[in-house]
Amino acid sequence: MPRIAVVGAAGFGGALCAAIVERHPSLELVAVTARSDAGLRLDQIYPRHRVRLELEPFDADRVADRADAALVAYPHGAAAPVVAQLRERGLKVVDLSADFRLERVRYEATYGPHAAPTLLGASVYGLPEIGYREAIRQAGLVAGPGCYATAALLALWPLRELAADAIVDAKSGVSGAGREATGTTHFVSVAENVNAYKVEGHRHRSELEQELAGAGFPITFTPHLLPIDQGLLASCYVSPVRELSAADVRQLFLDAYAGEPFVELAEAPPGVRDVRETNLCRVHATVEPATGRVLVFAAIDNLWKGAASQAVQDLNLMLGLPEAEGLGAIAASAAAPAPVSAARTEEVPS
């Protein structure tokens, strides 16, 4: 049974990684580390996860002595040196930060100097559904995608050869800002409020541009903060290069995601509650008759498919395990659209 360490387990994403691994039938959670919370048990910080391991200060040799692989959940910049130490000691690593998602020029233009640039060429982007599955299986280092990028890429991928331009209007819960977030993500700021932010350039834009670089169409990307704890909805508006019907678009998505265990095609626009605490991305795609634009709506849980459960999905592939193992009983089938939920068929007064 592969032994797993979670490095940076005191944050939202790291704690969830630890909880998923703890319950995984084919993985053994052997270590959880933290910086400021070392000495506490993880269940003292997150009682609902029920992980009773004590948080330790990070020591690469100590982790390597006990673990075969690691999930690293440090912020960007702090993750790269830790990942480098673990890779030097032979561990397979999934990094949840931005440090290994981008080629060097893009990374340094977005985040600044890279702390371990020699590893960039060896990392694989961790979104299996857009063509990286086999590379992930062979990888020693996988970069977990950003939450916004995950939803937007899954929404746009089937249209990449047919898009003239795209607008991505994305909205996320406040947990995406991390456990230590303050200021504009404080409860008082977000309650009874919705606002756009980083409208002149959010860092996840670099991922969209890199992964869709071959398509060559311009993307407008605007993130918004919602007064909810977790969940993310990407509403995408695509101008096609030729006329498409709703049936054409539906078939494109059926073909793109046939057999994908974690992409669920829906008959109506999804809500974030539909995917809460799952590794699913629920997608609805259609055409607006008045303009001919393709409308795609993709919902994920930003802490799950946008971070921790997707990291375990990648880890399963790296370790030769079934891709969906340990990620819950719910797995989608893209062979046919999922039905509209009963709650959404009720008439809503205007």
Q: Do you know the residue count of the chain?
A: 350
Query: Which backbone phi and psi does 262 adopt, to 5 degrees?
Result: -125, 15
12, 101, 199, 226, 346 from 202: Cα distances, Å: 21, 15, 7, 16, 36
Which positions are annotated as active-site residues?
147
pLDDT at 203 (0 to 100):
75
Give the pLDDT score at 117: 95
| Burial of 17: CB neighbours in 10 Å, binned 0-12, 13-18, 19+ | buried
Which residue is associated with the tokens 């580390």? Answer: 33
Which pTM value belongs to this model? 0.91
User: What are the backbone dihedrals phi and psi of residue 90, each rounded to the nearest 5 degrees, phi first?
Assistant: 90, 5
Per the CB < 8 A criterion, the answer to whether 80 and 88 are in contact is no
DSSP state of 53: P
What 266-269 contacts at long range (C-beta under 8 Å, 24+ apart), as own/partner pairs, is: 266/337, 266/338, 266/340, 267/337, 267/338, 267/339, 267/340, 268/340, 268/344, 269/297
Looking at domain 148-302+331-345, its CATH class is alpha beta
Q: What is the reported pLDDT for 80?
A: 97
What does the pLDDT read at residue 350?
32
Judged by DSSP in three states, 5 sits in: strand
Cα 184 to its chain centre, rounded Å, is 22
Q: Do the domains 3-125 and 148-302+331-345 sit in the same CATH topology, yes or no? A: no
**pLDDT at res. 31:** 98
Give residues with Cβ within 8 angstroms of 120, minimum separation 6: 100, 102, 103, 104, 107, 114
Q: What is the pLDDT of residue 346?
A: 33
> Domain extents for the chain?
3-125, 148-302+331-345
Structure tokens at 110: 């977005």
Residue 171: how many CB atoms within 10 A of its CB? 21
pLDDT at 343: 39
Q: Taking the CB of residue 178, how many other CB atoms lie within 10 A of it?
A: 13
Question: pLDDT 10s digit of each residue in the chain, 350 long?
Answer: 999 999 999 999 999 999 999 999 999 999 999 988 999 999 999 999 999 999 999 999 999 999 999 999 999 999 999 999 999 999 999 999 999 999 999 999 888 999 999 999 999 999 999 999 999 999 999 999 999 999 999 999 999 999 999 999 999 998 755 546 545 556 657 778 888 887 777 777 889 999 998 778 999 999 999 999 899 999 999 999 999 999 999 999 999 999 999 999 999 999 999 999 999 999 999 999 999 999 999 999 999 999 999 999 999 999 999 999 999 855 655 545 665 544 333 333 33
pLDDT score recorded for residue 158: 98
Please identify, in words, the CATH class of the domain defined by 3-125: alpha beta
Give me 297's structure tokens. Answer: 């709506």
In whole angstroms, how far apart are CA 96 and each of 16, 100, 191, 273, 286? Answer: 12, 9, 28, 23, 32
- Amino acid found at 302: N
Identify the pLDDT of residue 193: 85
Instruction: With CA atoms as reference, report the closest residue to 79 among 8, 177, 150, 175.
Output: 8
